Amino acid sequence: MLSTKIADFPRQANIRPALTPGLSNDAMTAHTDNSAQSSHAAFTTGLPPTQQAIPIYRTTPSDLPSVLAQLPAPQALWARTTGFDASPATTLLLPGADHDLGGVLLGVDPAQPLWQLAGLPAVLPSGIYRLASPAPAEHAALLHLGWALGALPTHKSTENQAGHGARLLLSPDEQDAVAPLVDAVRHVRRLVNLPANHLGPAQLASEVRQLAERHGAHYREWVGEALPAAGFALVHAVGQAASQAPRVTELTWGEDHLPLVVIVGKGVCFDSGGLDLKPAAGMRWMKKDMGGAAHGIALAELVMRARLAVRIQLVIPAVENAVGAGALRPGDIITAGNGTEVEIENTDAEGRLILADALHHAIQNAATPPALVIDLATLTGAARMALGPDLPALFSNHDDWANALLRVAQQHADPLWRLPLWAPYRRMLKSDHADTLNAASRPMGGAITAALFLENFVPAQLPWLHLDLFAWNLDARPGRPPGGEAQGLRALFALLSERFPAA
């Protein structure tokens, strides 16, 4: 069978399926030099006068006979001869009348519209393509987004290369609708993939400062020894042993009278575990422990770019959890910004400490009670054990907001799974010497006890969404290279766009 599974194509230039008759070598050359300059590089809004867009025929095994019946006889014969069966993620190049590429047959999974086109930009010959039949309205934007994600560069060697081989023909409105989302995903991936020696607390703070400058937002920063007096004793305690001083950055944007949305992102630029040192395998990818901060930065930019009718307060506590003379110790008791005495059960449960101070600061200093509080964090291995790498855990104290987020997450193929704030487990955080432990002494329900710890710092009357995410792809899949990944970001933006639409 000459149809090829998209995921199995080698990611190299000059792929030449030599057995396909009637196609020139130039037409059969696949380019993977994906442009890093703009998400628009994956698309085009017009055609040269003498050129026609190459049709892409999406089909399932059950629909294949009717699709073949619509094709020119030579193409249909070629598809039958090769044994193309339209199984998901398979593709077949169809010969054209003038020894060029006449079309593409693509086997798809109807339940996965986001990823149907994601494998194509890396393997199709250079040219301009179009969908042969209109997609359902609820799927069109996902198809376009998947194509664009598949066109993003996947490694350093393609990061600065201009040009793009395969482009999808869209209307200007369709292109403009997908571009911010692609840019946001790419921003998250870029930040999470940076090594800790390139993205420490100071550099992460600079990302927030540059974001504020781009959108005319207000920016503040607290650094090092100034942190405890400003209400960030937990942040200071976690980060004081590192070579770069810990810090907290704050961006505010939007008119004072608009509803306030607080966004807090965990910014642990590297997590050794502290004195409760992680094993080597557990430490290897801890550059990604600032994934929550990357999501917060990207979400804030999406909101500002869309000019939603909302005021946002983005707070990023940025630290490295290092081992040194000043390292936080098991048994230490630190007083949080809200006055809670926290006994350190485990120095590797540091993310919730810095989030706690950041949440309290944002809520305490708000001119009006927030309409919504969001925190994003690569917080617990327990969430990954429960839900795996692709499914972030959602915790919330407010059913309406939680259910709305789950609904839009399903609509936008950005899945989340709600876990309970099971109050009886608070007993696991009981301390004999302070108000609370920072982690349960028993290795059970870890994602829940972490969320319960954070709940102490959010007044019960304020709607709160807590996302415990992985921010990482373990495996190479079309549109999802190994490394940093955005999870829950598009769902959150869809929810904010729904609740606070731009005027």
pLDDT digits (tens, 9 = 90+) for 475-499: 999 999 999 999 999 999 999 999 9
145, 170, 195: which is the final residue of a domain?
170
Query: Six-digit token pair at 247?
Result: 């810090």
Q: Using an 8 Å Cβ cutoff, are 294 and 192 in contact?
A: yes
Q: Which residue has the higher pLDDT, 186 or 40?
A: 186
Lowest average pLDDT, out of 150-159, 196-205, 394-403, 455-464, goes to: 150-159
CATH number at residue 470: 3.40.630.10
Q: Do both 247 and 278 map to the same domain?
A: yes
Q: How far apart are CA 241 and CA 278, in angstroms?
A: 16
Q: Which residue is catalytic, options 220, 278, 407, 426? A: 278
Q: Do both 164 and 218 map to the same domain?
A: no
pTM: 0.91
7 in a structural domain: no
Q: Do both 202 and 293 map to the same domain?
A: yes
- Look at residue 193 and tell me whether its pLDDT is greater than 80: yes
Q: Do both 140 and 261 map to the same domain?
A: no
Which amino acid is located at 24 in the chain? S
Which pLDDT band holds residue 503 (cuts at 50, 70, 90)? confident
26 in a structural domain: no
Which region, left, alpha or beta, applies to residue 394 given φ > 0 means left and ψ of -120 to 50 means alpha? beta
316 in a structural domain: yes
287 in a structural domain: yes
Q: Do both 139 and 220 map to the same domain?
A: no
Percent of the chain at pLDDT > 90 equals 85
Other Cβ atoms within 10 Å of 259 Cβ, number: 18
125, 142, 170: which is the final residue of a domain?
170
391 in a structural domain: yes
Provide mean pLDDT across the span 267-290: 97
pLDDT value at residue 156: 59
Percent of the chain at pLDDT > 70 equals 90
Q: Does the active-site annotation cover 214? A: no
Which amino acid is located at 489 in the chain? L
Q: Using an 8 Å Cβ cutoff, are 246 and 238 in contact?
A: yes
- The DSSP secondary-structure symbol of 71 reads S
Q: Do both 479 and 356 map to the same domain?
A: yes
Q: How far apart are CA 11 and CA 482, in angstroms?
A: 13
Q: Do both 386 and 243 map to the same domain?
A: yes
Q: How far apart are CA 122 and CA 243, in angstroms?
A: 41
Number of domains in the chain: 2
Which amino acid is located at 168 in the chain? L
Q: Using an 8 Å Cβ cutoff, are 488 and 414 in contact?
A: yes
Q: Do both 443 and 388 map to the same domain?
A: yes
170, 197, 215: which is the final residue of a domain?
170
CATH number at residue 113: 3.40.220.10
Which tens digits make up the pLDDT trace of 40-91? 689 999 888 878 999 999 999 999 999 999 999 999 999 999 999 999 999 9
Phi first, then psi: give them for residue 180, nearest 5 degrees: -60, -35
Identify the domain containing residue 51 by its residue range. 40-170
Query: Six-digit token pair at 73?
Result: 């006889």
- Give Cβ neighbours of residue 407 (< 8 Å, ≥ 6 apart): none
Q: Using an 8 Å Cβ cutoff, are 289 and 190 in contact?
A: no
pLDDT value at residue 40: 61
- Look at residue 6 and tell me whether its pLDDT is greater than 80: no
Q: Which residue has the higher pLDDT, 458 or 38?
A: 458
Q: Do both 271 and 164 map to the same domain?
A: no
Q: Do both 217 and 160 map to the same domain?
A: no
User: Residues 221, 225, 228, 233: is their CA dihedral positive or negative?
Assistant: positive
29 in a structural domain: no
366 in a structural domain: yes
Which pLDDT band holds residue 136 (cuts at 50, 70, 90)? confident
- Look at residue 255 and tell me whether its pLDDT is greater than 50: yes
Q: Do both 299 and 161 map to the same domain?
A: no
Q: Do both 198 and 300 map to the same domain?
A: yes
20 in a structural domain: no
Q: Which residue is catalytic, options 247, 352, 384, 490? A: 352
Q: Does the active-site annotation cover 278? A: yes
Lowest average pLDDT, out of 10-24, 39-53, 159-173, 344-358, goes to: 10-24
